[in-house]
Amino acid sequence: MRATHHHMQPIERPSLGPSAVLRQRPCTRAPRPRLLIVGCGDVGLRILPLVRSHWSVRVLTTTADRAPALRAAGALPILGDLDRPATLGRLAGLADAVLHLAPPPASGRADPRTRALVQALARGGGCVQRFVYVSTTGVYGDAGGARIDETSTPSPHNDRAWRRVDAERTLRAWARAAGVRLAILRAPGIYAGDRDGGHPRERLLRGTPVLARADDVYSNHIHADDLARACVAALYRARPLRAVNACDDSEMLVGDYYDLAADLAGLPRPPRLTRAEAELQLSPMQMSFLGESRRLANRRLREELRLVLRYPTVAEGLARG
């Protein structure tokens, strides 16, 4: 953690919108470093036990109903909504570090939520020193099954991925101007046995088909516990303005992944369809995930963040249940 604070510099309007040049206030000092978690869902709750003994943790939440559970988990809830920037005034000068886990909106090619967050934090006069954003490996688009790393140029194939690219660009522009140590973790499919919608057994129980081997694509994965640990490692060890693939060591076709999950759970393997057949039976959203194939290198995760994965492959993670 840097010993000195950098004062906020004016930010170019094209990157952050018309409110980019903002009023500054001096930072307030706290006995312990202050961490703000934005988007404290499943992964955020896994992060809290890892940070609450070393950080004074605040969590931005849209609903007061979550406040008791967040307090019990060791965090101070801050009521605010990224979709309503006027509610974010309390974030000014609030944190020395930020973990941004909130997704973009469900439509469009821009992420106004990340812009609103940056503008609210900027009003604090440059208190934020470290910032970790969890993006998606979807920004790479389709690599035709090739092995790629973080030096590959983003080539998003859908609006969902474009929104993440927009968020990354917004954060890079702000971090450069403000002297913030930004890390971008690009996460693939997140799974865990105790995560809502995060275990393949739900899809297996529905009998959802997968592609025949000749048409299949490579997918990438990370266990939710390992992603939480990667976020914490990035807070301390990430290089400035660095993207890191937060994925495990697996190289699996989607169908093989679901076959493995079925075998481990004692369930029938999913039916296989040709791509033409799948397009008639699966939704456009489901097909969008089957239209991109890539195998991601995670050298930066292992060597720069020095993270030893608890579940280095999906075989270990799924076997846990």
Q: Are 130 and 212 found together in one domain?
A: no
- Is residue 86 located within the same domain as residue 158? yes
Which string of b and e fits 28-56 if b means at least 16 CB within 10 Å?
A: eeeeebbbbbbbbebbbbbbbebbeeebb
Kindly state whether residue 216 falls inside one of the protein's structural domains. yes
CA torsion sign for 297, 300, 301, 303 is positive
Burial state string for 213-250 with b = 16 or more CB within 10 A and e = fewer than 16: eebbbbbbbbbbbbbbbbbbbbbeebeeebbbbbbbbb
Q: What is the pLDDT along the chain (321 residues), one digit of tens a residue?
A: 333 333 323 323 333 443 333 334 456 666 789 999 999 999 999 999 999 999 999 999 999 999 999 999 999 999 999 999 999 999 999 999 999 999 999 999 999 999 999 999 998 676 899 999 999 999 999 999 999 999 999 999 999 999 999 999 999 999 999 999 999 999 999 999 888 777 888 889 999 999 999 999 999 999 999 999 999 999 999 999 999 999 999 999 999 999 999 999 999 999 999 999 999 988 988 888 898 999 999 999 999 999 999 999 999 999 886
Residue 98, beta-bridge partner list = 36, 131
Same domain, 52 and 170: yes
Query: Are residues 203 and 86 part of one domain?
Result: no
199 and 262 inside one domain? yes
Which CATH number characterizes residue 294's domain?
3.90.25
Domain that holds residue 268: 193-220+250-319
Domain membership of residue 305 (yes or no) is yes
Edge-to-edge order in the sheet of strand 97-100: 76-79, 56-61, 34-38, 97-100, 130-136, 181-187, 242-245
Q: Could you give the number of structural domains in the chain? A: 2
| pTM reported for the whole predicted model | 0.89
- CATH number for the domain that contains residue 93: 3.40.50.720
Residue 6 included in any domain: no
**Do residues 263 and 318 make contact, with C-beta atoms less than 8 angstroms apart?**
no
Based on the fold, state whether residues 34 and 155 are members of the same structural domain: yes
Residues 209 and 104 reside in one and the same domain: no
CA-nearest of 113, 129, 103, 127 to 39 is 103
